[in-house]
Structure 1
Amino acid sequence: MHTTLVSVDQLKALRDTKARLMVFDCTFDLMDPASGERQYLQAHIPGAVYAHLDEALSDKGLPDANGQQQPHADAASGGRHPLPSREKFAMWLSSVGFANDMQAVVYDRNGANYCGRLWWMLKWAGHEAAAVLDGGLQAWQAAGGEVRSGAEASHFQSNFELGPPLRKLVTTQQVAGALGSGAVTLVDARAPQRFRGEVEPLDPVAGHIPGALNRPFAQNIGADGRFKPAAQLREEFDQLLGGRDAASVVMYCGSGVSAVPNVIGMELAGLTPPGLYAGSWSEWCRTPRLPIEKG
């Protein structure tokens, strides 16, 4: 069973042995939401299922009177990419034929930015056998891995059953209630200029949650496009936390997606899996009377 990362060679071995396996392509572009599926149709690992961030991995409702998209009532978070309920996510997994006895391998072309979302959601659904393809499609192709174009044949409906959550989802109320207490160490995965509030291209208010630390998600990835070695990640997270308890860490970003490479980085470093504030800045800054910090 692969539970965090899987190498290209390990994925090839899984495919060669005809293991119970489903591969997911999560390529996406926030500025052009249709481009990920276009890229998938141009080239993907044979048999891979496309997982669209907005349609499969989020639960976006209809716009309100102000034109703001609101999550469905049963969504597990707010923000720009509301997390669907575990039950709704299980229905999607069943619809693509994913079953409880399968190994999931997720990848993208974006430095694990988007496939990490599906990895985390599978853990949250109680499925341990989920791993990120280290280096993404680029590593697969560089190693001579076969790719296919066009759509894949549909899978038979399965009956995926939820298990106890294996990762911790944190709400706005929990974050707000812990501010200033020292019980939670917030880590913001956005770029430094967004964290400092100098620019904000996506949300209505600039800044960050008071007291948060900043670790842009791309810092987990080395020059070769793969996650950095465990010892290097451990050193970097120890330096970031400065003696704070790793078990207190809650990751967030703009909408709960790019925070996940930080989650994976901490786990690879051998630290306690952190919580994820899925609503993240996009939910925090739209919630009345919550404090905001800049600089």
Structure 2
Amino acid sequence: MTGPLVTVSELAQLLGKVTVLDVRYRTGGAAGPAEFEAGHVPGAAYVDLDADLAAPPGPGGRHPLPDPAHFAAAMRRAGVSTGRPVVVYDDWGGRAAARCWWLLRHHGHPDVRVLDGGWAAWWQSGGAVAPYEDEVGPASPYPGDFEAAATGAMPLVGADEVLDLDLLVDARAPERHRGEVEPIDPVAGRIPGAVNVPTEANLDEEGRFRSAAELRELYEGVGVRPGATTAAYCGSGVTACHDLLAMEVAGLSAALYAGSWSGWITDPSRPVETG
């Protein structure tokens, strides 16, 4: 595998040689565990975004980063080992899977990919689906040996740094970026100076990531440049990872502002921009 994505055909050849994580999750969508038990990529383990990939809501936003020890323990339960490649998928265009990809990379796992097209692409391709007739309930993987390490492979920025960056990318929908509507958080608007690349722009009509050349043109078009200090944010720090994944596909890099909009507005002294 090369790059941060893996295709359905590649994953089909790799089953049994990689750890597969199912991170099905959508804001306001169907319950991931029930969908997982109804059918999943063979050998996959379910990872709960709220429980395993985030800390409880608070001053750090709606989905603060999980405690490293808690995250590592969750990954070990899912069978993740440092020396074994990991493939992550969801049913949300890669938005939830990108959060798991980012966290594993951030905490030192060297080989993590996202299944391009996710569960829909796997299902539509006719790929094998568990549980089989003789399989009951969720998968029970062998525990892994993953330990969270402070490698700095995927950088972070804090609220006190974002206004000094060369560029800040907002991954939310355009109407939320402009402050016209805010369906989730109590304040509408954006962090001053932020440019908008909604996650939908990263995907083609089939729900797969656009080519590296197309994504590079997209992000360079809003000002992302090698060597510039750049970060991405969203509503709660989850879908911003989708923009970071797209930039990685394009050969670009940026940090994550994990608190994102929901964390930014917990301090009323911080400026807000609309329009």
* TM-score bucket of the superposed structures, by smaller chain: over 0.9
Which secondary structure state, in structure 1, belongs to the residue aligned with residue 80 of structure 2?
coil
Aligned to 1:65: none
SS in 1 for 2:190: coil
Match of 1:166 among 146, 153, 161: 153
Q: 2:232 aligns with which of 244, 251, 260?
A: 251
Percent sequence identity is 44
User: Unmatched 5+ residue regions in structure 2?
Assistant: none
Between 155-164 and 282-291, the greater mean CA deviation after superposition: 155-164
1:270 Cα offset (Å): 1.4
Q: 2:27 aligns with which of 9, 25, 30?
A: 30
C-alpha spacing 1:86/1:143, structure 2 compared with 1 (3 Å): same
Match of 2:120 in 1: 138
Which contiguous aligned blocks of 4+ residues in structure 1 show a shift greater than 3 angstroms?
Answer: 243-247
Any conservation in 2 of the 1:25–1:49 contact (CA below 8 Å)? Answer: yes
Compute the displacement of 1:106 (Å). 0.5
The Cα shift of 1:35 comes to: 1.4
C-alpha distance after superposition, 1:40-86 (max 9, x if no partner): 122210111111111111111xxxxxxxx437xxxxxx110111122
Query: Structure 1 residues 89, 252: CA separation in 2 closer, same or farther (over 3 Å shift)?
Result: same
- After superposition, residues 122-271 of structure 1 pair within 5 angstroms as 122-149=104-131, 151-163=137-149, 164-175=151-162, 179=163, 181=164, 183-241=165-223, 247-271=228-252
Secondary structure of 2:114 counterpart: strand
Among candidates 59, 65, 68, match of residue 86 of structure 1: 68
For residues 97-154 of structure 1, the C-alpha deviation after alignment (integer angstroms, 9 at most, x for no partner) is 2111111100111100111000000000111210000111111122210112463332
Partners in 2 of 1:139 and 1:59 — Cα distance?
30
Q: 1:282 aligns with which of 251, 262, 266?
A: 262
AA aligned to 1:160 is F
Q: Is the 8 A contact 2:45 2:79 kept in 1?
A: no
**Structure 1 residue 93, shift from structure 2 partner:** 1.2
Does the 8 Å CA contact 1:2/1:130 hold for their aligned counterparts?
A: no
1:115 match: secondary structure: helix
TM-score normalised by L of structure 2: 0.92
CA deviation after TM superposition for structure 1 residue 289, in Å: 0.6
The TM-score normalised by the length of structure 1 is 0.86
CA distance, structure 2, for counterparts of residue 158 and residue 9 of structure 1: 25
What code does the residue aligned with 1:25 have?
Answer: D
In the alignment, structure 1 residue 51 sits paired with structure 2 residue 33: no
Between the aligned partners of 1:253 and 1:35, the Cα distance in structure 2 is 22
Offset of 1:10 from its aligned partner? Answer: 1.0
Whole-Å separation in 2 of the counterparts to 1:290 and 1:238: 28
Amino acid of the structure 2 residue aligned with 1:124: H
Q: Which moved more, 1:1-10 or 1:115-124?
A: 1-10
Q: Cα offset for 1:217?
A: 0.7
Q: 1:91 corresponds to which letter in structure 2?
A: A
Question: What is the aligned partner in structure 1 of residue 36 from structure 2?
Answer: 40
Distance 1:160 1:141 in 2: 29
Equivalent residues, number: 270
* 1:187-219, Cα deviation, whole Å (9 max, x unpaired): 000011111111111111000000000110110
The secondary structure found in structure 1 opposite 2:228 is helix
